[in-house]
Each structure stands twice: as structure tokens, then as C-alpha cells.
Amino acid sequence: MTAWLIKSLGLSKLGARIIVYVVLPLLLVAILLFSLNAWGDSRYEQGKDDADLAWKAAGRKLVEQSEAAAQGANDLAVLREAEYQQRLREEKEAIDAATIAGDDPLDVLF
């Protein structure tokens, strides 16, 4: 290869050796690094898109779970309120009955 460079480009033996042993390997390394960087960038973008989709899916799942939990909590709150109102009515009836009978209303509560 050095003989071809010497004849075709008119370089000295030292110039041809510098091109063969320094410039060409540096050029090959630069091409390799550029292609590796481009490949890495494409992999990064693909991974970023996949990660974004995974985060969005997880977010949707979390919203669904929180809505289901909120609905369950609302249902339980309605039940607790109904039980409380029932207990309040029973206590009021017991107090009214004690008042009509002439007893102390606090005795009914405790």
C-alpha cells in the first residue's frame, strides 16, 4: 500500500508510512466512533420511547386504581353515614322514651 501511495501521490516513503500507519487508523477509528455514536443514539431514542410508554401505562393504571379506591371509600362512607343515622335515631327514641317515662335520659346513654 505504501508503494502505491508513493507512486500515485508522489509522496516520500515517510509520508506514505505516516498516512498508512497514522491517518488511516485514525480515520477508521473516527468512522467506528461515529457509527457507534449513531447506533447508541438510535438505541437511546428507542429506549426513551419505550420508557415513556411504560410510564404512561403505569400512570393510567394508577389513576384507575385510585378511582376504584375512591369509589370504594365513597361506598363505605355512605354505609357508615347510614349506620350512624340509624344509631342516632335509636338513641333519640331511647331518650324520648326515658323522658316520657320520667327517667334520666343520661341513664339510657350509659
DSSP string spanning 29-69? Answer: HHHHHHHHHHHHHHHHHHHHHHHHHHHHHHHHHHHHHHHHH
All three cell numbers of 16, joined, read 506514505
Among 69, 77, 108, smallest CA distance to 90 is for: 108
- For the chain, percent of residues with pLDDT exceeding 90: 52
State how far the alpha carbon of 68 is from the alpha carbons of 60, 61, 65, in Å: 12, 11, 5
* The residue to which cell 371509600 is assigned: 73
Mean pLDDT computed over 16-26: 85
Whole-prediction pTM: 0.43
Confidence band (pLDDT; 50, 70, 90) for 21? confident
What is residue 45's predicted lDDT score, i.e. its pLDDT?
A: 83
**Domain tally, the chain:** 1
**Residue-range definition of the domain harbouring residue 70:** 2-109
pLDDT of 23 higher than 80 = yes
Q: How sure is the predictor about 49, in pLDDT bands with cuts at 50, 70 and 90? A: confident
pLDDT of 104 > 90? The answer is: no
